[in-house]
Structures are given as C-alpha cells and as structure tokens.
Amino acid sequence: MKTAVRFGMVVLGVLAVVGLMVPSAALAAKEIKIGVIYPLTGGAAAAGRELRAGAELAAKIANNVMTDISMDMAKNSGIKNMGGAKIKLIFKDHQGNPTIGADLAKKLILDDKVDGILGCYHSSVTKTVSAVCEQYGVPMINGTSTSPALTKRGLKWFWRTTPHDKWFTKDLFELLKGLTEGKVRGVKAVPKKEIINLASACEKTEWGSHVSDIIKSLAKEYGFKLKKSLLYASKSPDLSSEVRSLKAVRPDAMLFASYTSDAILMVKTLKAQKAAPKIIWGQDAGFEKPEFRSTLRDSIVGILTRTVFLPKVAQIKKVAGQVNTLYKKNTGNDLGGASARAFTGLQTWVHVLEKAGSTKPADIQKAANALKIPGKELVVPWAGIQFAASGDEIGQNVLGSGLIGQYQKDKDGNLVLEIIYPFDVATADMIFPFSF
Amino acid sequence: MDILISSLFAGLLIGMVLALVALGLNIIFGVMEIVNFAHGEFLMVGMYTGLFTAQATGMEPLLTLPVAAVVGFLLGIICYYGFIKFLIRGPMVAQLLGTFGLMLFLRNIALLIFGSEDRALHHGILVDKSFDMGMGVIVPATKLTAAGLSVVAFGAVWLLMNRTKIGKALTATALNAQGARYMGIPTERMNALAWGIGGGSVTIAGALIVNFWSVNPFMGLLFTMIAFAIVALGGFGSVPGAFFAGLVVGLITEIPGIWDFFTYTFNFDWMNNVPMTSLKYMWVYLAYFVIVVVRPRGLFGWKQ
Amino acid sequence: METIKNALDFSDSPRIDLTIAGLVALFLLVFPIFPHSAFAMATMIQFLMFSLYGMGWNTIGGYGGQVDLGKAQYVGIGAYTTAVMLIRWDVPFWISMPIGMCFAVIWSFIIGYPLFRLKGHYFAIATIATTLVLKDIFEVWDFVGAARGLEISPIKYIPPDFLRLIFKQDVYYYYVILGFFFLGILYVNWFRRSRLGFQLRSIKDNEDVAQSLGINVHWAKVKTYAIATAFVSLVGSFHACYIKNIEPEDTMSLDLSILIALMAMLGGAGSLWGPIIGAGILIPCKSYLKEWLGAQVGLVGIDLIIYAGIIMVISAFEPRGIWGIVEKVRRRKRS
C-alpha cells in the first residue's frame, strides 16, 4: 500500500516537473536573440560544427568593431540603429530530424522568445521549421538549404540567401554548353555528340530526388540525352550494381547527388569498375567534404563539384580573404561551402535588423523584403543579396550564383579545388576529359 | 550478356562477404536463440579496430585481422557476462529490446569517441585494386579476399561445430541446454564461447571490409538487417545454410543489374523507368518475409 | 449499453490505483492552465501519443504475448492517408482518420494472416521486414510524395480549424489527443475482460491448451492484431496533422517501432497502466536528457548513451517492467 502511494508520488512528481517548467527569464535589455538550429549531432555533425563556427564568427564581427575587416557590420559594435544592441545566438541541435526541428523551433519561439531564426542545413528540416515560423509569424532566414521547393510555398516569413539546386544544376549545363562552344579555359571546343550522353545517380531522399528531377528537366531543355537516371538507397554498403547500371549506358558525363560516405564509395566503385566517363560532377555535399579528399586522394583529380565557396575565392575577393584568416585562426580550417553560407546567413540577419531598426516582426518583414546588400560586403562570390518579393519564388535571393570547382593538383602536389565556372573567374585550365 | 554475367558474379561475391558478416549472428542464434540487434555495431567495432590499428602502427591493414578478432572475442565475452547472461532469463521481448539497447549504447559510444565523420583507410595492398577478368567481370581485390576469407571461416566454423569436442558441446547446448547441463557440459561457458566466436568472426569481417568501405558510427543497422535476412533464409543456426543464404541475398541485391540486362535485351523503354535500384533492399526483405512464412525453418534449417 | 458499463468498470483494480489514476487524470485535464513552457507541452503531447501507441501494442504484444516490432508501418499508413486526403481532396481529419484505420486494418489482415503462422523471433523479425518493405515502397511511390514526403501547407488553412485539425496553439492538439487517450483507456479496459481478451491470455499462457479448449488461436491473434493496428493508425493520423510534414523515414522507421514496444515493456506489458507508466517515464526522460545533455560540445551522444543504459538495465534486471515491481511488492505484502 505504502509502496503504491510512493510509486504514485513518483509518477505525479515526474509529470509535475514536466508541467511546471516555467518559461525562461524575460528578455535582457539590448540583446537580440537569434535561434540557430543546426545538426550538431547525428550523421551531419561535422557539417554542423562548420556551420556553427561560421555563424559564431559572423556574430562576433557584428558585435565588435573590427577595423581589419572591410565590411559594414564590422564598423559598428552591435546593431547601430538599435542603440548598439548585441546579437545573441541560441544554438539548438536537430540531429537531421524534421520533427525534432519543428519542436525546437516552437521552443525557441515560445520559450526563449527569439526575434528570429537561422537554419537548418537539411532541406527537410528547414521545411518543418519554416512552417512553424510561418504559423507564429517569426522571421526565418535560411542560408544553406538548397531544395528548390522551399521557396515555392509562398511563405511570408521565410527568406533564403543561398542559390538553390536548380541554379547549380543549370550552372552545370551551362558548363557543358560552354564546352561545346569552346568557352572553357584551356579546352578546345568539343563536338556536342561527344558529351551528349548523361547518366545521373542521386540518393533517395528529399534532396536527392529533387536534384534528380531537375537534372531530368534541364537535360531536355539543353538538348542532352539522359540515358539513365537512378535513385539509390543512401548509406548503402555496396554500390556496384548501381555503378554497373550507369556504366552500361556508356555515359559521357556522370552526375551525382550524394553525401560523404556514398560519394566516397561511389568514386571507389567507379574506379574499381574501370568506368570512364569524360566528366564526373558532384552536387556539393559529399563531394566537397575534407574526408572525400583525404580518403580518395589523387584519384579525384579532375572531378567536378558545384559549390558556393572555395578557398580560391579568398584570393580573388579581399573581404573573403580577411574573414578566412580569422576563421582559420579560430578553427584551423579554411572557410568551406557550409561555413561561408552560414556566415552569410547571419550577416544577412545583421543587415536586416540594421535596416528594420527594431525587432518587431512586421518591421523585420518589411526590411527583409526591401533589403539590398551589395556583393562587395559578402564573402561569397555573389552579386549581392536581394529577396524576391513577388513571383513564384517569394523570399529567394535573386542575386546569388554558384561555382563549379575541379579537383586539381597544384605545383606542390596538394589537391586543391580550382574554379572552372563561371568562365570569367576561372582560376585554372579545366582537365578534360576526366580519367582515373 | 556482359551485364548479366558481371551482375551474377558480383552478386555471388558480395553474397560471400555478407555471409561472412552474418556468420557470427548465426552462431550466436544457433547456440542460444537470442537475436542480436547489436550485430552491425560489432561489425562497426571491427572496422574501427582495423582502421585505427593500421593507421596508428602504419602496418598492412590485412595484418590487423588478428587484433580485430581478439577485440571482437573479448567484446563478445564481456557482453555475455556483463549483460546477456541476465537478459536471457527474461521474456523474449526483453531480449529483443535489450540487444537493441546494446546497439544504441555501442553506436553512441562510438559517436562520442570517434565523431560522426566517415573514415576510411588510405593505404594497404588491397586498397583501390581490382582485376579485370574479361566478359565485363571486374573484381575488387578487397571483395575477393573477403570472399576467400568467408569460405575459410565457414569451413573452420563447420569443422569446429562438427568435428571437435567443443563443437559437439556447443551443438548439445543448442539442442537442449538443460540436458546438456545434466551431461556435465558447462552451458554457461558454452554460451559465452558462442558470443566470443560470434563477436570475433564479425569483427574480422569488419577489419577486412574497412579496406573497401568507409566507416561511421551509424552504419551498423543496415548490416544487422541484412544479416537477419541471411540467417533466417538459411535457417537459424545452420552454418552451411547461412553461406548459401548469403549467396542468395547477394544475388537478390543484384536484381537491378539483371533487370538492366532484360531491359537492354528486349529494349523496352518502360523497363528503364522502373526504379529498381531504389528498391534494391526491398527484395531482400520481401524474400525473407516470403521464406519465413512459407518455410519457417529457412532453406537449410534443422531447428524449429 | 452493457459494453459501456463494462468499459467504465474498473472495480477489479485496487482502490489506491484508482485514486492515483484519478489524480493523474485530473492533472492531465488541468495541466494547460498552469504556466508551462512550449517544450513541456510538446513533451506532454508526445507522452499521450506514445501512451496510445503503447496501449495498442499492449493488446497484441502484452495480453497476447506476440512480440510485434513492426508497428511503425501502421503509423505510416494512418499518417499518409490523412495527409494525402487532406492535401489532394481537402478531406477533413475526422473522415480521413477512420478511413486510414480501415486501410491499416485491411493491410494488417493481409500480412497478419501469414505472419501469425510464425512464432517467437521469427514473428518479431518478420514484422520488421514488412515495415521495411512498405517503407521502401513509399519511398518510390510518387502519388504519396516518394522520398520527398508530404507537407500540409502552413498557409493554406486558417487556424483554428477543428475539422481539419489545424491549430496554431498546441493546447488544442493536447486536448484532442487527451480525449483519444481517455477513450483508449476505456477501450482497453473493456477489451481485457472481453471474450477476446480472455482467449488471448489463455493463448499467451499455453497455445496448445487454448487450441484444445476450442479457441481459434490463429483467428484470435489476427483479430487482436487488427485492434492494435487501429490504435496505432489513429495516432498516426493525428501525427500527420500535428507535425504537418511526413516522410517515410520519419513515420516508418525501425526506431519508432522499437520505441513503441519499449514503452509498453518498460511500464509493464500485459497490464492496463503499463504503457502509460512506460511512456510517462521514457518520453520526458528522452526529451529532457536531450535538452540538458544533447549538443554539449565534446559530449556528443551522451544523452543517448544514458538512455540506452536505462533500456539495458531494465530489460536485463526488471523485464516485467515497472508494473512488475509494483506487483511483486504487493504480493510480498500480502503473503
């Protein structure tokens, strides 16, 4: 009897603890809270670390006066129009799970009372988080998710700075077209029939299946023949049947959308199977990760990947070089596609707040829709940031652009990504055709 | 034609590798009727062991196999005495969920220690080598070695089970634990031995396949599921059964390749649009489901 | 009428249990009035959902003793039916939910009929296999969004929409699921003393004896499986409206199947209150461990290690769950 009572008390106690968790303390003065939702643990934790470092660096630059960086936000301490209010980032971990992401967004909005949200890397998580933000009328800026569908939903509280997969894939087809027209640095015009046959393999996820669809439609538009287009189960232990299936159609170019482990296995299997396409192109993600490079080493020379930021950009662009030095001092690594875009995402937040002059959602919305950041402010090689306020892609940055890099060896024998596209900023001659 | 032959050949090859992975699960189940959800995590431990031993000492990755075997053996024994021993007293649902807990535990320990990055070997005689055997058949050296080792391991386990005293004791424990105890067989130690051998064989497999596949803390579950399918297809506890079931599962994973062959032979356009590769593993599970329903003993099972 | 009376009849429980149950019920009813964080609210909704999942699992897994590790496929069927019908044809939740239950029950008959020829581990693993097959099919099936998943548009419906179950505040969802929760308890209370319930328990004790008593063992199991399915599918439909975004990976994962079984086992399989106690402990434990320990730099995964440790300890040393401890203590008191 007594035990049962005690037991009941425990149950009640547990429930009561859950119930009485009161909301956290009231807003401190002169502080702007931005909730940042990234995959800090789970399969994409490595990317999460980069993203976090990028966003933290941007916040540091915004909150302090840094004369050695030629950016507007480095000139002031905090947000000038709001009396020097400081940016405070609250990091949350979504583990790559959309449901957890939505829960965290609710928590940030209702419990932590954030003024805005930044995130979330995985497109599937960004989808649920942006839906929550829309419901509560809290602005969200997304810097790193590239699924085109995100900005096609007509959301009023969601802005995306990064270009999406359709642009990136279009870049690839522009490159292929450029090859036939002799526009590529170091390569003579290639007859179209030599690179007309394509094959694509994308992972079977939200992101991969979108990319696959885009490749299909763009191939038709540009007059290439997509002989084979397959989706494979990600984190597969073996890809040899997929590779044989691709090989069987004798494609001139193979296009992939894969995360790290699959990208490594795919290239290894391609090599083992002695597949010999003239072009291998990866849709960022796995193809840009340090592990991809360190595992496969010299066998990736000649592989192309789309990206938004390469260390080479730091040589062309002064601002990028300055930020990169600082980033390298903090983390030991160069800025990458993920960290540079996270940096830009938070930088956009700073500009939006500066323009809005308050944290009222309506003011932020107005400021974001009228925002225009010139390209010289940014670390990424874009023409600037300006969001579409109408049309079928509301909230999408229209001034972004992508890069296509190629793994090459520099004169010291190190593997570096050289810029191949856009043609006018190419840093090296393209290696064509590719061979293992 | 090339496609068909190379698909079949690749299927058999990967089948042997998968059979090697499933061998340990089969031994454990055969002796003590417990399904180990943590099996894929054992494989992961083997892969990390092979990887780090090779990287730290700079030695040839193939030579790390004994190290991995010892680690796996110890891990199996520790798991048995520290956890499984208590678990088998309870009902079946507790056993299943308990090994699932073990799986989560090992996976997250690995995550804590090694981080979530994919890691892979950069050196060794097997890395990035393959042989062209004509007819479109290309054999990666690692898989060939793994397949060879698989045959050897199955032979050794079969001999152990059928030709030695320990093997007879293990079989007796498997058939009737209580009876075996009356006959003076230390069944407790036999169970532990089964876990040791099971763990050791799967970590060897891990140390070998890390030559080809990269490893991260999350890779275990798919291997566990495939190993389940192999063991069930072959008949729980049947050693030769597991080997043949491995080959069958290997061939099933090559269904997309065989489909391709028919696509090009008959040149049907619609066949090209069927998402066969996306459904690659579905056929494995489906075959498994059909087999257990039609013939619960599995193809070669002797235990009902 | 008789049925309702039976469902409301808790007289075989000790009074102390009923008092505690009453207090908890009262607490659940008034919980939203107290100041609470959104996180606590989300955790409570999760708790109620998983209690219902656990109750469903408990009918076949607890009372029937059939270890089913494939419940996630029915979550998926329920969730997808509701989402597809809402998005494509604007069918409200209250209509699509029963339809989803019908689909789930039909599917449960299709696979349950052959499945229940199996016993023990074979059954358990076969249920996993069916889930994986269904998940793979949903991942390529374009009609249901394939691997992209489905999203219920956040701007198309004006909350609060009681017909479609689209709300802005979680408190509405809380009361909807709380209603289902109470109904679920009443149903299980009726079920455990129904003819089928008694048949099932005799099957669990000894199948051969049950068979010789003239019970159609196979049919009884299939029927109970369908009941369990209906529970799970209902909550799946609710999940679709609550989360508003469903993907095969999310709704049909093995982890979810296992978690469902875990709730019931941890609390005590085969008892009325077991799944609720299990969910009441495991869900807050999981959420708050993650909240306090998750994403700590240098300690990635520590929360899940602790969580796994709890599962291991319970399954090794107290496999009959918390309710098992309570009963053990009571028996000792009595003797």
| C268-315 pLDDT per residue, tens | 888 889 999 999 988 998 888 877 776 565 666 787 888 889 889 888
pLDDT for the residue numbered A29: 46
Q: How far apart are CA B272 and CA B262, in angstroms?
A: 10
- Nearest CB to A99: which of C155, C243, C326? C243
Q: What is the CATH number of domain A31-163+315-385?
A: 3.40.50.2300
Distance between alpha carbon C30 and the CA centroid of its chain, in Å?
23
Q: Is the pLDDT of residue B207 over 80?
A: yes
Cβ <8 Å between A155 and C155: yes
- Phi and psi at C320, nearest 5°, equal -90, 5
Domain count, chain B: 1
* H helices present in A285-360, as ranges: 290-296, 311-316, 318-331, 337-356
Q: Name every chain A residue with its beta carbon within 8 A of the beta carbon of C305.
A: none
Q: How far apart are CA A216 and CA A200, in angstroms?
A: 9
Q: How far apart are CA C229 and CA C66, in angstroms?
A: 14
Instruction: Please state which of the four CATH numbers 3.40.50.2300, 3.60.20.10, 3.40.50.920, 3.10.150.10 is assigned to the domain occupying A166-307+402-425.
Output: 3.40.50.2300
Sign, Cα dihedral of C281, C287, C291, C297: positive
Q: Which two tokens stand for residue C312?
A: 């291991």
Residue, of B142 and C316, whose pLDDT is higher = C316
Q: Å from A251 to nearest chain B CA?
A: 15
Q: How far apart are CA B209 and CA B212, in angstroms?
A: 5
Alpha-carbon separation of residue A432 from A55, A299, C119 (angstroms): 37, 15, 60
Q: Name every chain C residue with its beta carbon within 8 A of the beta carbon of B278.
A: 136, 139-140
- Rg, C-alpha atoms of chain A: 23
Cβ <8 Å between B278 and A268: no
Q: Closest chain B residue to C296 measured between Cα atoms? A: B112
Q: Is the pLDDT of residue C78 over 90?
A: yes
Q: How far apart are CA C186 and CA C195, in angstroms?
A: 16
Cβ <8 Å between C154 and A8: no
- The answer to whether residue B240 is domain-embedded is yes
Cβ <8 Å between A237 and B222: yes
* Whether A276 contacts chain B with CB within 8 A: no
Report DSSP state, residue A277.
-
* Whether A271 contacts chain B with CB within 8 A: yes
Instruction: Please report the residues numbered 207 through 226 in chain B whose beta carbons come closer than 8 angstroms to any beta carbon of chain C.
Output: 221, 225
Domain limits for position B212? 2-294
Q: How far apart are CA B8 and CA A86, in angstroms?
A: 64
pLDDT for the residue numbered A26: 39
| CATH code, domain carrying B279 | 1.10.3470
Q: Å from B277 to nearest chain C CA?
A: 10
Percent of chain B with pLDDT over 70: 98
Q: Name every chain B residue with its beta carbon within 8 A of the beta carbon of C122.
A: 232, 292, 296
Strands (E), A51-154: 86-93, 116-119, 140-142
- Nearest CB to A299: which of B128, B213, B253? B128
B56 within 8 A of B71, measured Cβ to Cβ? no
* Whether A217 contacts chain B with CB within 8 A: no
The answer to whether the A31-163+315-385 and A166-307+402-425 domains have the same CATH topology is yes
- Nearest CB to A206: which of C17, C37, C247? C247
Q: Round to the nearest angstrom and report the end-to-end CA distance of chain A.
A: 76
Residues of chain A with pLDDT under 70: 1-29
Alpha-carbon separation of residue C297 from A52, A120, C293 (angstroms): 11, 18, 10
Total-model pTM: 0.88
Q: Name every chain B residue with its beta carbon within 8 A of the beta carbon of C254.
A: 221, 225
Instruction: Please report the residues numbered 16 through 55 in chain A whose beta carbons come closer than 8 angstroms to any beta carbon of chain B.
Output: 41-46
Q: How far apart are CA A398 and CA A414, in angstroms?
A: 35
A14 within 8 A of C277, measured Cβ to Cβ? no
The SS3 call for residue A233 is coil
- pLDDT, tens digit, 9 for 90 and up, residues B97-107: 899 999 999 99
* Chosen from A2, A17, A21, A123 to mutate, greatest number of chain C CBs within 10 A: A21
Domain count, chain C: 1
* Chosen from B5, B112, B214 to mutate, greatest number of chain A CBs within 10 A: B214
Q: Name every chain A residue with its beta carbon within 8 A of the beta carbon of C138.
A: none
- The answer to whether residue B159 is domain-embedded is yes
Consecutive H or E run containing B196: helix B187-209
- pLDDT, tens digit, 9 for 90 and up, residues A178-196: 989 888 888 888 888 888 9
Domain boundaries in chain A?
31-163+315-385, 166-307+402-425
Cβ <8 Å between A209 and C330: no
- The answer to whether residue B302 is domain-embedded is no
* Average pLDDT in chain B: 85
- Side chain identity at A69, as an amino acid letter? I
Number of Cβ atoms within 10 Å of the Cβ of B11: 23
Q: Name every chain B residue with its beta carbon within 8 A of the beta carbon of A241.
A: 7, 10, 253-254, 256-257, 277, 280
Cβ <8 Å between A265 and B264: no
Percent of chain C with pLDDT over 70: 98
Q: Is the pLDDT of residue B281 over 80?
A: yes
Q: How many CB pairs under 8 A join B and C?
A: 139
* H helices present in A332-433, as ranges: 337-356, 361-369
pLDDT for the residue numbered A220: 92
- pLDDT, tens digit, 9 for 90 and up, residues A14-55: 555 544 444 433 344 478 999 999 988 777 777 888 899 999
Cβ <8 Å between A131 and C245: yes
Percent of chain C with pLDDT over 90: 36
Q: How far apart are CA A350 and CA A289, in angstroms?
A: 28
Most confident of the ranges B166-170, C67-71, C148-152 = C67-71
| CATH code, domain carrying C198 | 1.10.3470
Cβ <8 Å between B7 and A44: no
Q: Closest chain B residue to A95 measured between Cα atoms? A: B116
* Whether B105 contacts chain C with CB within 8 A: yes
- pLDDT, tens digit, 9 for 90 and up, residues C44-72: 999 999 999 999 999 998 888 888 899 99
Residues in chain A, overall count: 436
Domain limits for position C273? 2-334
Q: What is the largest CA-CA distance in chain A?
A: 90
Least confident of B93-97, B157-161, B171-175: B171-175
Task: Please state at what angle helix B165-175 crosses helix B2-32, rounded to 10 degrees.
Answer: 80
* Average pLDDT in chain C: 88
- Nearest CB to B288: which of C124, C129, C300? C129
- pLDDT, tens digit, 9 for 90 and up, residues C179-191: 999 999 999 999 9
* Chosen from C115, C132, C297 to mutate, greatest number of chain B CBs within 10 A: C132
B239 within 8 A of B150, measured Cβ to Cβ? no
